[in-house]
A and B are shown apart, each in its own frame.
Chain A
Amino acid sequence: MLRYTIRRLIQLVGVVLVLSLLLFAWLRVLPGGPVSALLGDRSTPEKAAELTKQLGLDQPIYLQYFKFLGRALTGDFGVSTGVQPGDSALDIFIQRFPATLELSFFAIAIAIVIGVPLGYLAAKRRGSWFDNASVVGSLIGVAVPVFFLAFVLKGLASSALGLPSSGRQDAIDATRVTGFFTLDGMITGEWDATFNALVHLILPSIALATIPFAVIFRITRAAVLDVLDEDFVRTAESKGLTAPVIRRRHVLRNAMLPVVTTIGLQTGALLSGAVLTEKVFGFPGVGEALAIGFERRDYPVLLLLIIMATSVYVVVNLLVDLSYALIDPRIRTR
């Protein structure tokens, strides 16, 4: 178990190193980049050449990479050229990560609240029109481009219900403690700040929720179907236990294991989805920074954020694996 964990963590370090080298080489080879970002449309070939030299961008790539690694060890991942020009890439990540986490949390929460009961009901009525309709419905959820859905939500819900359609919070005077705006308000007692942040989360988290929703629904349905077929449920039924008791004691508890792990495994999809959703809603999270970074070719920010996103994804996957092994002893022996 421990060896397994350590091996996976070493693997992660390897992945990060390889990835950073690839990304680094890539962004040095590409045209544009820091020099044209810094000079803008007043650039001339002469100025560009001078700046390239000044920043040491004319040195061999491997040399630049080692210098970068050296700086990275001290926490210096470079300075943003497009997302928040002048800010350190690490600061941008630190500021924005809580936003994305908050958004993902609510998206997952919505997906669970709707997906699990729906999956359960669909499984209980397997083959009924309700089952078929919800299966097809969940597949439509997969087929709709997230950003299009986000726009539709923004256009309809925002004007009809008056929900805010951009940003994380209005420019109210709120004290920052953790970076999680909903939490900060609770800690400091600024309930209006919490409320304001929550209202801003509604639309983006609904849009983002469609991604995990479809998966959670289908996994719940499949898991419940599986469990319903198991012997112990049949036994319970023949024992004459009432339906709610069976549901509580046997079916749900046993079906929850795959559902719980699925949720952990949605991080990657959520991160990708956040790029699109946050861009549409102007939500200042990691996803928006990535979207703007791609647009404005902000290489230092892209480099760090992609590495961070990958690390988070890998670590969460590892945690899921570990918890799975802890819960289900059969796996440990493998």
Chain B
Amino acid sequence: MCNGYGRRPHREMCGLSKGCLMVHSVTARRRWVAAIGFLSVSALALSGCAQSQRDSGGGGKEGGTLTFGAAGAPKLFDPFYATDGETFRVARQMYEGLVGFKPGTAEVEPALATKWESSSDAKTWTFTLKEGVKFHDGTAFNAEAVCFNFERWYNQKGAGQSDAVSQYWLDNFGGFKDTPDKPSLYKSCTAKDAKTAVIELAEVNSQFPDVLGFTSFSMSSPEALKKYDADNVQAAGDAFTYPAYANEHPTGTGPFKFSKYDKANNTVELVRNDDYWGTKAKLDKIVFKIIPDETARKQAIKAGDIDGYDLPNAADWAGLKSDGFNVAIRPAFNVFYMGINQKNNPKLADLKVRQALQYAINREQLVKSQLPEGAKVATQFMPDTVAGYNKDLKAVPYDLDKAKSLLAEAGASDLTLKFYWPSEVTRPYMPSPKDLFGAISGDLQKAGIKIDVVTKPWNGGYLTDVDQGIPDLFLLGWTGDNGQPVNWVGTFFGRTDNRFHTGVSAWGKTLADDLAKANAEPDKDKRKSLYEDLNKRIMEEYLPAIPISHSPPALVLKSDIKGVVPSPLTDEKFGSASKG
């Protein structure tokens, strides 16, 4: 009898036990579902094989299921091939890298490597590994496993080399072993002994070893990789298909293990890894319930269907708080900007015109009325937590007359601009594109600029058109991957054929070259001051786009969920979470 219901443990069994009732009685529905539907099951379970509740030790109670509302389905579970937030979120709970980020910051801390040091030329890095760590399948974690992973990444073939597949590797390490025209930052990995791995780089890079903290570069079990054919990615028709490792057998070292992905019910289930090397997770299970519609997620948490979800609409924060939910506001680690494309309209290559745009936008008002609590006007293209942020830069104030006179000086009083905004998307830096666009375009119109409004779905032409330089003005932003400045200004202006077409102006090349120089500077402090100077020049001499704001993204959780630390990188791990 017990076995018959043993498969459906805990949550339902809890239905009538006192301690759990508090959790489950959040909504009326749960109550009557529990009362009517589960009565018989629960009674049997309680009489026969009730589990004793583990008592709370330390912070937070043990056991329970955290149901998290995800905005989309995870593409796969192999972090190396992951490219989107929903996929990373699930993978992050099961995997760990050599380095990690200190919870709540963008600072690096030891993870599977306990320490590391670099040679004086910053090209050879020696990692000392944690001992006694095992992958979920029992394989031992050691230097050989580390090198196996690095070699696996470096040796991607065929479809595995595609930008759409190994995006993070390509962005951070460059090419692969058999792509001589596309050199790689990675040179070699040697297992000196079981707990010492030496990694050689082809050149100096300011982002190393921070990049190893990305979920993409987590350690997978070599045995599982081999057994489940992990590298067998195929281009099929107009998409890619992934092997069993990525779909059904992700195997890392993290506090949670993969259980199942119930596609018919749109839920992904992870269970606790009881052999975890560190502090074991308190939760028994994490369920990711996929609810694509944002309003539906909000209603689901109110109804008690889920325990939390990411990126609640800023307009809902107050309401959620007053309903007793915990709205965890993360530090704003992003920038929202109005992009200017200098290619199509020669007037836009004139600094005066771009400055006029900056004066014309009432950013103070915009931040106050359209952005969430804690949002700030941007003075430059990075937030103040990034090394190289220039404290001396002040936000240019709103000045309509100045804008008009600058436009007149430049002979651009009669300017018509094609202004793009994206539909079907919200981004942490851009909570409601339509309303933001309404405010900005309204301001520009007040300055006498005529606006040709164009919108396209984010993935249905918006990004493509922006890439191809079709709009004159566009709304975009960036959420940082790490605290290194090259991840910000380097990404935006590090090339001349970027989205802003800075190559049209002579300074575009200068800026790109100086950014490359700054990135290659091995000395931390020198690098920082180089970037500070560059930030000043970008804002005062070049102004390739108008930085508008930094907005803090939030995460909403039920009040009984404890131990989730909001992270600026939005990479919360639930290993420390507890319920009740």
A and B touch in the complex (CB under 8 A): yes
| Chain A residues near B (Cβ < 8 Å) | 30-48, 50-51, 54-57, 67-68, 71, 76, 78-88, 91, 95, 98-99, 154, 158-159, 161-174, 176, 179, 181, 191-192, 195-196, 199, 279-282, 284, 288, 292, 295-297, 299-300
Is B193 close to A, CB under 8 A? no
Write out the residue numbers on chain A whose beta carbons fall within 8 Å of the beta carbon of B72: 85
Closest to A190 in B: B8
Closest 8 CB pairs of A and B: A162-B28, A79-B239, A38-B164, A297-B460, A31-B461, A282-B296, A32-B460, A173-B8
Q: How far is the CA of A171 from the CA of B425 in the complex (A)?
A: 27
Residues of chain B from 272 to 314 with CB closer than 8 A to chain A in the complex = 287, 289-293, 296-297, 299-300, 302-303, 305
Q: How far is the CA of A48 from the CA of B28 in the complex (A)?
A: 50
Write out the residue numbers on chain B whose beta carbons fall within 8 Å of the beta carbon of A168: 265-266
Is B208 close to A, CB under 8 A? no
Most buried by A among B238, B247, B468: B238
B55-78 interface bits toward A, Cβ cutoff 8 Å, 1 = contact, 0 = none: 000000000010100001101100
A296 to chain B, nearest CB (A): 5
Chain-A contact segment, one of B35-43, B113-121, B124-132, B355-363: B35-43
Q: How far is the CA of A133 from the CA of B497 in the complex (A)?
A: 67
Closest to A38 in B: B164
- Pick the contact of A36: B65, B266, B291, B464 (CB < 8 A): B464
- Pick the contact of B467: A34, A48, A88, A161 (CB < 8 A): A48
Write out the residue numbers on chain B whose beta carbons fall within 8 Å of the beta carbon of A161: 28
Is B506 close to A, CB under 8 A? no
Q: Is the CB of A282 within 8 A of B292?
A: yes
Is B1 close to A, CB under 8 A? no
Closest to B27 in A: A162
A186 to chain B, nearest CB (A): 14
Is B536 close to A, CB under 8 A? no
Q: How far is the CA of A254 from the CA of B467 in the complex (A)?
A: 65
Is B237 close to A, CB under 8 A? yes
7 contacts between A and B (CB under 8 A): A78-B238, A85-B73, A86-B75, A98-B264, A162-B28, A165-B303, A172-B8
Say yes or no: A54-B8 contact (C-beta < 8 A), given A34-B239, A162-B32, A295-B424.
Answer: no
Q: How far is the CA of A70 from the CA of B84 in the complex (A)?
A: 31
Q: Is the CB of A55 within 8 A of B235?
A: yes
Q: Is the CB of A41 within 8 A of B463?
A: yes
Q: How far is the CA of A262 from the CA of B7 in the complex (A)?
A: 45
Say yes or no: A54-B235 contact (C-beta < 8 A), given A41-B463, A195-B33.
Answer: yes
Q: Is the CB of B8 within 8 A of A279?
A: no
B64 to chain A, nearest CB (A): 13
Q: How far is the CA of A192 from the CA of B39 in the complex (A)?
A: 9
Q: Is the CB of B300 within 8 A of A83?
A: no
Q: Is the CB of B237 within 8 A of A71?
A: yes
Write out the residue numbers on chain A whose beta carbons fall within 8 Å of the beta carbon of B392: none
Write out the residue numbers on chain A whose beta carbons fall within 8 Å of the beta carbon of B238: 33-34, 55-57, 78-79, 81, 299-300
Write out the residue numbers on chain B whose beta carbons fall within 8 Å of the beta carbon of A284: 264-266, 290
Write out the residue numbers on chain A whose beta carbons fall within 8 Å of the beta carbon of B468: 45
Say yes or no: A158-B75 contact (C-beta < 8 A), given A34-B238, A81-B239.
Answer: no
Q: How far is the CA of A181 from the CA of B266 in the complex (A)?
A: 13
Closest to B42 in A: A192
Q: How far is the CA of A297 from the CA of B464 in the complex (A)?
A: 13
Q: Is the CB of B33 within 8 A of A292?
A: no
Q: Is the CB of B303 within 8 A of A158?
A: yes
Say yes or no: A295-B457 contact (C-beta < 8 A), given A40-B83, A196-B33, A300-B237.
Answer: yes
- Pick the contact of A165: B73, B241, B292, B299 (CB < 8 A): B299
B160-188 interface bits toward A, Cβ cutoff 8 Å, 1 = contact, 0 = none: 00111001000100000000000000000
Q: Is the CB of B37 within 8 A of A95?
A: no
Write out the residue numbers on chain A whose beta carbons fall within 8 Å of the beta carbon of B414: none
Main secondary structure on chain B at its contact with chain A?
mixed
Contacts A86-B240, A158-B303, A165-B299 known; 13 new A-B pairs at CB < 8 A: A37-B459, A39-B163, A44-B467, A51-B164, A55-B239, A76-B237, A86-B239, A86-B242, A159-B302, A166-B296, A166-B303, A199-B33, A279-B293
Q: How far is the CA of A44 from the CA of B495 in the complex (A)?
A: 11
Most buried by A among B11, B159, B239, B293: B239
Is B527 close to A, CB under 8 A? no
Q: Is the CB of A171 within 8 A of B287?
A: yes
Q: Is the CB of B299 within 8 A of A32?
A: no
Write out the residue numbers on chain B whose beta carbons fall within 8 Å of the beta carbon of A158: 299, 303
A194 to chain B, nearest CB (A): 9
- Pick the contact of B75: A85, A91, A280 (CB < 8 A): A85
Q: Is the CB of A176 within 8 A of B264?
A: yes
Is B263 close to A, CB under 8 A? yes
Is B12 close to A, CB under 8 A? yes
Q: How far is the CA of A59 from the CA of B303 in the complex (A)?
A: 50
Q: Is the CB of A87 within 8 A of B289?
A: no
Residues of chain B from 236 to 269 with CB closer than 8 A to chain A in the complex = 236-242, 247, 262-267, 269
Q: How far is the CA of A147 from the CA of B484 in the complex (A)?
A: 46
Write out the residue numbers on chain B whose beta carbons fall within 8 Å of the beta carbon of A99: 264
Is B462 close to A, CB under 8 A? yes
Write out the residue numbers on chain A whose beta carbons fall within 8 Å of the beta carbon of B391: none
Write out the residue numbers on chain A whose beta carbons fall within 8 Å of the beta carbon of B458: 296
Closest to B499 in A: A44
Write out the residue numbers on chain B whose beta carbons fall within 8 Å of the beta carbon of A40: 83-84, 459, 463
A168 to chain B, nearest CB (A): 6
Residues of chain B from 6 to 32 with CB closer than 8 A to chain A in the complex = 7-9, 11-12, 27-29, 31-32
Q: Is the CB of B296 within 8 A of A54?
A: no
Q: How far is the CA of A259 from the CA of B380 in the complex (A)?
A: 68
Q: Is the CB of B424 within 8 A of A79?
A: no
A189 to chain B, nearest CB (A): 9
Most buried by A among B33, B297, B424, B463: B463
Q: Is the CB of B461 within 8 A of A32?
A: yes
Q: How far is the CA of A204 from the CA of B11 in the complex (A)?
A: 26
Q: How far is the CA of A196 from the CA of B15 in the complex (A)?
A: 14
Is B456 close to A, CB under 8 A? yes
Q: How far is the CA of A126 from the CA of B293 in the complex (A)?
A: 45
Most buried by A among B7, B264, B468: B264
A230 to chain B, nearest CB (A): 48
Q: How far is the CA of A84 from the CA of B462 in the complex (A)?
A: 21
A107 to chain B, nearest CB (A): 19
Write out the residue numbers on chain A whose beta carbons fall within 8 Å of the beta carbon of B65: 171
Q: Is the CB of B11 within 8 A of A172?
A: yes
Q: Is the CB of A82 within 8 A of B237?
A: no
Q: How far is the CA of A198 from the CA of B76 in the complex (A)?
A: 31
B29 to chain A, nearest CB (A): 4
Q: How far is the CA of A295 from the CA of B267 in the complex (A)?
A: 21
Closest to A160 in B: B28
Say yes or no: A42-B8 contact (C-beta < 8 A), given A191-B37, A199-B29.
Answer: no
Q: Is the CB of B459 within 8 A of A154?
A: no
Q: Is the CB of B41 within 8 A of A192?
A: yes
Closest to B161 in A: A54
- Pick the contact of A172: B12, B84, B242 (CB < 8 A): B12
Write out the residue numbers on chain B whose beta carbons fall within 8 Å of the beta carbon of A55: 235, 237-239
Write out the residue numbers on chain A whose beta carbons fall within 8 Å of the beta carbon of B41: 192
Most buried by B among A36, A79, A292, A300: A36
Q: How far is the CA of A39 from the CA of B239 in the complex (A)?
A: 11
Write out the residue numbers on chain A whose beta carbons fall within 8 Å of the beta carbon of B11: 172
Closest to B247 in A: A86
Q: Is the CB of B292 within 8 A of A164?
A: no
Write out the residue numbers on chain A whose beta carbons fall within 8 Å of the beta carbon of B162: 50-51, 54
Q: How far is the CA of A48 from the CA of B459 in the complex (A)?
A: 13
Is B513 close to A, CB under 8 A? no
Q: Is the CB of A32 within 8 A of B462?
A: yes
Write out the residue numbers on chain B whose beta carbons fall within 8 Å of the beta carbon of A54: 159, 162, 235
Q: How far is the CA of A181 from the CA of B291 in the complex (A)?
A: 18
Q: Is the CB of A32 within 8 A of B263?
A: no
Closest to A176 in B: B264
Q: Is the CB of A173 within 8 A of B7?
A: yes
Q: How far is the CA of A164 from the CA of B300 in the complex (A)?
A: 8
Write out the residue numbers on chain A whose beta carbons fall within 8 Å of the beta carbon of B12: 172-173, 192
